[in-house]
A and B are shown apart, each in its own frame.
Chain A
Amino acid sequence: GESVGLHLPTLSVQEGDNSIINCAYSNSASDYFIWYKQESGKGPQFIIDIRSNMDKRQGQRVTVLLNKTVKHLSLQIAATQPGDSAVYFCAENSGGYQKVTFGTGTKLQVIP
């Protein structure tokens, strides 16, 4: 079936540097994408979303880029902080009922 997946299972970044987390999706009909952050022992927390009619969207210290040609999604975190350490999931919202399909997750480790 269609799926959403991640390239890198673990990413280590020096505090203050920028982080880039990548995600590939296979369903060319996907039209809405979300990034979630999950801290240890907690549930996924919404970070930012993007629709397929956009290729870039910015939030506070985060930017999501969407390349529909190669079906690739990325999350950029500026000036990474220790509090950014978590597992990041990209997800596709599909089915017309806001059903979310998750990728496998990337663990971000921030080195002080």
Chain B
Amino acid sequence: EAGVTQFPSHSVIEKGQTVTLRCDPISGHDNLYWYRRVMGKEIKFLLHFVKESKQDESGMPNNRFLAERTGGTYSTLKVQPAELEDSGVYFCASSQNHGNTIYFGEGSWLTVV
């Protein structure tokens, strides 16, 4: 069974540009999460989808970040315009409904220069 997959694995963009990260959760997992870790900090929750609905987006840092999960399958996280402080690794995770184990992807490593 395929795990959580993320694309791109690495991205280098200039300040002010736009980047879109994609996450494909494990098939059948209704819950999808975005997390990020910026340099020297802990992994922080961004938001949580249940199917196509945003269950909790309390961790989204500002309105430059937009997450979508149309159709309740894969999800995208867009950063527009990107700032230097957005550099870090963005993790996607998924879990089955009512399950407790959350499976993480390998992360998308973003560098804003």
Contact = CB atoms under 8 A, between A and B. Distances in A.
A, B from the same assembly: yes
A100 B91 contact: no
Contacts of A45: 104
B21 to A, nearest CB: 13
Interface residues of B, number: 25
Given A44-B104, A97-B56, A102 B42 contact: yes
Interface in B80-113: 91, 93, 95, 99-107
Nearest to A44: B104
Contact of A32 (B33, B43, B100, B104): B100
A105 B48 CA distance: 22
A58 to B, nearest CB: 17
A103 B37 CA distance: 11
A32 B42 CA distance: 19
Contacts of A61: none
Contacts of A43: 4, 91, 93, 104-107
B102 A100 contact: yes
A102 B44 contact: yes
A63 interface: no
A98 B102 CA distance: 8
B50 interface: yes
24 contacts: A34-B102, A36-B104, A41-B106, A43-B4, A43-B93, A49-B100, A93-B100, A95-B56, A97-B48, A97-B50, A98-B31, A98-B99, A98-B100, A98-B102, A99-B48, A99-B56, A100-B33, A100-B35, A100-B45, A100-B93, A102-B42, A102-B44, A104-B41, A105-B43
Closest 7 CB pairs of A and B: A43-B104, A102-B43, A104-B42, A44-B104, A43-B106, A102-B42, A43-B107
Interface of B: 4, 31, 33, 35, 41-45, 48, 50, 55-56, 91, 93, 95, 99-107
